[in-house]
């Protein structure tokens, strides 16, 4: 009885972790941003830019490493534009993010069509190999699920561990929260609010760009218009579900990745339930979680609000 | 002097965006004159082209009006997309389940149903914001996805057309069709409905006590509260009205264009509506102009693709850039605006 179940469960869980990887990376980045008070709805644009820049450079140079570097830069540029608008221009963060989503969607598909045209054979880029970690990957179930994956999944483990340290053990982690909760008090205490927010945005851009590369270089091996198809918005859900904590974000991404994998599974098995039932699940879950956590507001005090010295 | 400088700063924004468009067109190897010619011919060169601009503008105008009610009342409605889907569903359900009714009764009923459905879909995040302090930005995005998936489930199950393999509802009866205004085009009475809605919103926001209350809450919730205005009640009212107009956009798309419920009934109208409301400065007359402008850009760029091979995604680049530069305008062109009376222009 056990025999057929375990391999199936392993395959499923492995797929879930792989699907979760872009969400976890982008969600972790956004956690930095939101902790500092910057709500970046433009996560979709960051990921899309990362996915595109990573793809195009890897396609031209056939080097995955250069592709990953380009993806990080691509995400960084978008995130810094958002930071410039929100911090320096004190513009509305939501509108800035939304406009960036339009802009990035336009620019990436325009540049893609410009380079490759409307051809039937897809332009390819190299895909990161599966790197089994010796010994660990031989553990039953957990081995293949966690340790027989690509570099992006391992990057999540590192990013989660580093983020835990940064958030709980460093002075900068504390100033991040201070700036997000009460920028005026943080400013009085001598913190440079703008600098902290720009740094948080840069981390968000880098991780978000990496998340985009996890899509094109990590699994697909090609690019198409709007390849992220709303994953940036889903990553925002991950951040809320995970309450902006590294482990929380990781687990929330796993949950959503599992829902995604389940939906594919159900489709291939030909079960007669519309896949939308499963796609919808994470959103309903998020609303439910938000509902049950009411009373104690989870958002940083100054989330989404611009800060201007000497203004009340 | 001040207005002149502000005007110059807007003209500079326009110049940058046009320059970017020219560079993009040259980058794909197209001829700029031919491309702009194609753009203008597509939008103004024929009665059909002009009518298509109005067809596109209709849902943008209705949803943009809805979004603006939310914005002026401090309810940041990112959820117009989902509200359009719910409104479209309600209208289609009325059409499918009350087929015997004549048009003059059926159509108003369908629009009423869409107002109710869109309003309810927006009132939930509104209630959550007003009573529990939950951010409407994230919740309305969530409700977009839930609504889109609900439509996906419905058109595959209970509302599916049994005679057709694709996921869509059966075609609605002719009584459910909004009358076509101009023979040979798709321009339907929904455009008139949308224009009437703009006048209605203008009157509502400027001339009624509830409109006044909502605007005060949007400007300064604390002052509103001190003045005896119930802030939660105003937010809930604003969110409901906001969603209702977006819902109506769904109804006119069903009754005017598609004549059935299908997936992708809104290709992002709800998100564009946010841009429309922003460019229109939350003023119904400005929103009419902004919806026409965005519609023009989209119709024109489709023709530019046909005639000069420029990808339509150029319209998204232009829209994104316009908004980004408008947000950054006072900072980037600070040298121009500094010294004007009032520190922020």
Least Cα separation, residue B324 to chain A (angstroms): 6
Per-residue pLDDT at A148: 87
Measured between CA atoms, the residue of chain A closest to residue B313 is A106
- pLDDT of A84 over the 80 cut: yes
Hey, are the CB atoms on A283 and B145 less than 8 Å from each other? yes
When the pLDDT of each residue in chain A is averaged and rounded to a whole number, the result is 89
In a domain, B34, yes or no: no
Q: Are residues B16 and B140 in the same domain?
A: no
For position A106, which CATH number holds? 1.10.3470.10
Hey, are the CB atoms on B313 and A225 less than 8 Å from each other? yes
Tens of pLDDT, residue by residue over A192-238, are: 999 999 999 999 999 999 999 999 999 899 998 889 888 898 898 88
Measured between CA atoms, the residue of chain B closest to residue A103 is B320
Tens of pLDDT, residue by residue over B191-218, are: 999 999 999 999 999 999 999 999 999 9
Per-residue pLDDT at A297: 58
Angle between helices B136-154 and A231-241 (to 10 degrees): 120
In a domain, A242, yes or no: yes
Domain count, chain B: 2
Contacting residues of A for B330, CB less than 8 Å apart: 89
Q: Are residues B53 and B154 in the same domain?
A: yes
Cβ pairs bridging A and B (under 8 Å): 141
Measured between CA atoms, the residue of chain B closest to residue A100 is B320
Q: Are residues B209 and B341 in the same domain?
A: no
In a domain, A110, yes or no: yes
Q: Are residues B14 and B153 in the same domain?
A: no
Contacting residues of B for A33, CB less than 8 Å apart: none
- Averaged over successive runs of 10 residues, the pLDDT of chain B (345 residues) comes to 84 93 92 93 93 97 97 93 98 92 91 98 94 86 93 93 90 90 93 97 94 92 91 95 98 96 92 93 95 95 92 93 92 74 44
Q: Are residues B9 and B121 in the same domain?
A: no
Per-residue pLDDT at A291: 76
Per-residue pLDDT at B342: 45
In a domain, B44, yes or no: no
Contacting residues of B for A103, CB less than 8 Å apart: 316-317, 319-321, 324
In a domain, A310, yes or no: no
In a domain, B227, yes or no: yes
Interface check for A290 against chain B (CB to CB < 8 A): the answer is yes
Interface check for A92 against chain B (CB to CB < 8 A): the answer is yes
Q: Are residues B222 and B330 in the same domain?
A: no
In a domain, A141, yes or no: no
Q: pLDDT confidence of A119, banded at 50, 70, 90?
A: low
Contacting residues of A for B311, CB less than 8 Å apart: 109-110, 113-114
Domain count, chain A: 1
Interface check for A114 against chain B (CB to CB < 8 A): the answer is yes
Q: Domain residues for B232?
A: 49-310
Q: Domain residues for A277?
A: 11-130+149-292
Integer CA distances (angstroms), A253 to A34, A91, A261, A282, B134, in order:
17, 30, 12, 10, 22
**Could you say which residues from 251 to 280 on chain A have a Cβ atom under 8 Å away from some Cβ of chain B?**
274, 276-277, 279-280
Per-residue pLDDT at B165: 86
Least Cα separation, residue B137 to chain A (angstroms): 8
Best of A30, A45, A80, A106 to disrupt the B interface by mutation (most B CBs within 10 Å)?
A106
Count how many residues are written for chain B: 345
Tens of pLDDT, residue by residue over A6-20, are: 888 888 899 899 989
Per-residue pLDDT at B126: 96
Q: Kindly calculate the radius of gyration of chain A based on its CA atoms and give it in whole angstroms.
A: 20
Per-residue pLDDT at A1: 47
The torsion angle over the Cα atoms of residues A65, A67, A69 and A71, rounded to 10 degrees, is -150
Per-residue pLDDT at A62: 93
In a domain, B39, yes or no: no
């Amino acid at each position: 009885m056990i025999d057929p179940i375990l391999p199936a469960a392993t395959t499923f869980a492995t797929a879930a972790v792989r699907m979760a990887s872009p969400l976890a990376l982008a969600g972790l980045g956004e956690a930095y941003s939101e902790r500092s008070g910057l709500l970046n709805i433009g996560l979709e644009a960051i990921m899309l830019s990362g996915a595109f820049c990573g793809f195009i450079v890897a396609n031209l140079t056939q080097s995955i490493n250069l592709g990953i570097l380009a993806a990080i830069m691509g995400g960084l540029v978008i995130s810094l534009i958002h930071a410039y608008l929100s911090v320096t221009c004190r513009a509305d963060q939501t509108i800035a993010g939304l406009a960036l989503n339009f802009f990035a969607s336009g620019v990436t598909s325009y540049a893609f069509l410009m380079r490759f045209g409307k051809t039937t054979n897809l332009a390819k880029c190299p895909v990161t190999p599966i790197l089994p970690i010796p010994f660990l990957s031989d553990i039953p179930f957990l081995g293949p699920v966690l340790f027989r994956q690509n570099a992006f999944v391992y990057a999540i483990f590192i990013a989660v561990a580093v983020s835990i340290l940064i958030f709980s053990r460093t002075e900068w982690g504390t100033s991040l929260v201070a700036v997000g909760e009460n920028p005026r008090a943080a400013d009085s205490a001598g913190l440079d609010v703008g600098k902290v927010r720009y740094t948080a945005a840069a981390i968000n851009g880098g991780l978000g760009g990496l998340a985009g590369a996890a899509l094109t270089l990590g699994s697909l091996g090609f690019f198409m218009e709007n390849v992220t198809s709303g994953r940036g918005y889903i990553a925002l859900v991950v951040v809320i579900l995970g309450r902006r904590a590294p482990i929380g974000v990781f687990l929330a991404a796993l949950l959503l990745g599992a829902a995604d994998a389940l939906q594919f599974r159900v489709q291939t098995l030909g079960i007669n339930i519309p896949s939308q039932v499963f796609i919808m699940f994470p959103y309903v879950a998020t609303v439910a979680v938000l509902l049950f956590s009411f009373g104690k507001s989870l958002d940083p005090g100054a989330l989404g609000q611009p800060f201007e010295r000497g203004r009340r | 002097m001040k207005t002149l400088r502000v005007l110059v700063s807007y003209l500079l924004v326009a110049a940058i965006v046009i320059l970017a468009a020219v560079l993009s067109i040259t980058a794909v190897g197209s001829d700029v004159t031919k491309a702009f010619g194609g753009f203008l011919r597509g939008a103004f060169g024929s009665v059909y082209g002009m009518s298509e601009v109005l067809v596109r503008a209709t849902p943008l105008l209705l949803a943009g009006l809805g979004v603006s009610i939310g914005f002026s009342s401090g309810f940041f409605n990112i959820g117009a997309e989902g509200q359009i889907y719910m409104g479209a569903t309600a209208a289609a359900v009325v059409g499918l389940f009350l087929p015997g009714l004549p048009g003059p009764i059926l159509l108003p009923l369908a629009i009423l149903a869409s107002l109710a459905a869109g309003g309810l879909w927006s009132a939930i995040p509104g209630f959550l914001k007003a009573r529990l302090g939950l951010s409407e930005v994230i919740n309305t995005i969530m409700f977009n996805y839930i609504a889109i998936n609900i439509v996906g489930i419905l058109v595959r199950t209970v509302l599916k057309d049994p005679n057709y393999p694709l996921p869509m509802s059966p075609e609605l009866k002719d009584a459910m069709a909004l009358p076509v205004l101009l023979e040979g085009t798709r321009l339907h009475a929904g455009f008139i409905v949308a224009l009437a809605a703009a006048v209605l919103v203008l009157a509502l926001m400027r001339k009624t006590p509830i409109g006044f209350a909502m605007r005060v809450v949007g400007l300064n919730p604390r002052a509103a509260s001190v003045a005896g205005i119930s802030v939660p009640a105003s937010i809930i009212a604003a969110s409901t009205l906001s969603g209702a107009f977006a819902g109506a956009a769904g109804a006119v798309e069903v009754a005017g264009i598609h004549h059935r419920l299908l997936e992708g009934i809104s290709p992002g109208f709800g998100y564009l509506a946010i841009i429309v409301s922003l460019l229109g400065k939350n003023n119904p007359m400005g929103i009419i102009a902004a919806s026409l402008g965005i519609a023009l850009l989209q119709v024109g760029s489709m023709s530019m693709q046909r005639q000069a091979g420029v990808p339509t995604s150029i319209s998204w680049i232009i829209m994104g850039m316009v908004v980004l530069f408008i947000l950054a305008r006072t900072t980037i062109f600070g040298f121009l605006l500094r010294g004007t009376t009032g520190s922020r222009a």
